[in-house]
């Protein structure tokens, strides 16, 4: 059986640029769907699920960053990257809103293709790993343990005290990687190699942004309950890397 070509939803109102991008990606055997507006993109997402959304922040009908927040609700299972003439503040906010990557305009097509390939490779690894893992045992009858972090690879889901965490594919893969080595100090080079498949990422601030996002989501899940000392948390060990500090981790 021949595998289907990965599908890219390109949300870009510049027709000439969109045509160039579609041509370049098509020559690399991607199937490209084009939407000029956020409304057009929503119409596509109501009927189909692409493998990746490539999003310009300058759209004619809605602010691109607002659309990013809407995507996390309307299509939480679809990763997206930003490809736009963004300011530094917009790039940082884009990562915080869940973008897998941010590529500034102008750019070279080979770099765009390489970044798309890296995102899809991470997603494919996570999917393949979940398929190799047997389903978790039903634990619905047992009371949750405080601070219990559970990883269910068969469902591509992480729960804290039985509450699912809303993670992007890369955030999920980062947290799963760290749960395999609880309490250990993991260097940036190891994270870059194990999560992104590219050790050169160790010099990028992208790793820091993702660690902060995952840490924030771990904290928010029990915020205000006065039990932060029981929370799993990611510690930054100056000059060495990161450490997942947890009371207990079970990997399903």
Tens digits of per-residue pLDDT, 176-191? 888 887 778 888 888 8
Is the pTM higher than 0.75?
no
**Hey, how many other C-beta atoms are within 10 angstroms of the C-beta on 23?**
11
Token match 């055997």: residue? Answer: 29
Domains of the chain by start residue, with CATH: 7-129 (3.40.50.2300), 135-251 (1.10.10.10)
pLDDT of the residue at 134: 44
Q: 216-222 — which CB contacts under 8 Å span 24+ positions?
A: 217/165, 217/166, 217/167, 217/171, 218/149, 218/160, 218/165, 221/160, 221/161, 221/163, 221/165, 222/160, 222/161
Residue 160 and residue 88: Cα distance in Å, rounded? Answer: 33
Tens digits of per-residue pLDDT, 157-210? 788 877 888 888 888 888 888 888 777 888 888 888 888 777 777 777 888 888
Confidence of residue 37 (pLDDT cuts 50, 70, 90): very high
Tens digits of per-residue pLDDT, 132-145? 444 444 444 333 44
pLDDT(238) > 60: yes
């Amino acid at each position: 059986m021949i595998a289907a070509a990965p599908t890219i939803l390109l949300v870009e109102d510049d027709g000439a640029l969109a045509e160039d991008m579609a041509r370049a990606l098509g020559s690399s055997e991607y199937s490209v769907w084009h939407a000029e507006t956020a409304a057009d993109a929503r119409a596509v997402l109501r009927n189909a699920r692409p493998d990746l959304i490539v999003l310009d922040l300058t759209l004619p009908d809605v602010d691109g960053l607002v659309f990013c927040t809407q995507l996390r609700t309307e299509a939480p299972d679809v990763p997206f990257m930003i490809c736009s003439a963004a300011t530094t503040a917009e790039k940082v906010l884009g990562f915080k809103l869940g973008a897998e990557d941010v590529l500034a305009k102008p750019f070279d097509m080979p770099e765009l293709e390489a970044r798309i390939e890296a995102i899809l490779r991470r997603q494919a690894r996570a999917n393949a790993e979940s398929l190799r893992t047997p389903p978790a045992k039903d634990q619905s009858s047992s009371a949750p343990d405080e601070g219990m972090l559970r990883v269910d690879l068969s469902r591509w889901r992480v729960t804290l005290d039985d509450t699912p965490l809303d993670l992007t594919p890369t955030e999920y893969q980062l947290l799963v990687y760290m749960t395999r080595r609880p309490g250990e100090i993991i260097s940036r080079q190891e994270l870059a190699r194990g999560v992104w498949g590219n050790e050169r990422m160790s010099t990028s601030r992208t790793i820091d942004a993702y660690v902060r996002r995952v840490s924030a989501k771990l904290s928010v899940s029990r915020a205000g309950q006065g039990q932060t000392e029981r929370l799993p948390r990611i510690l930054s060990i100056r000059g060495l890397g990161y450490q997942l500090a947890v009371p207990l981790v079970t990997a399903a």
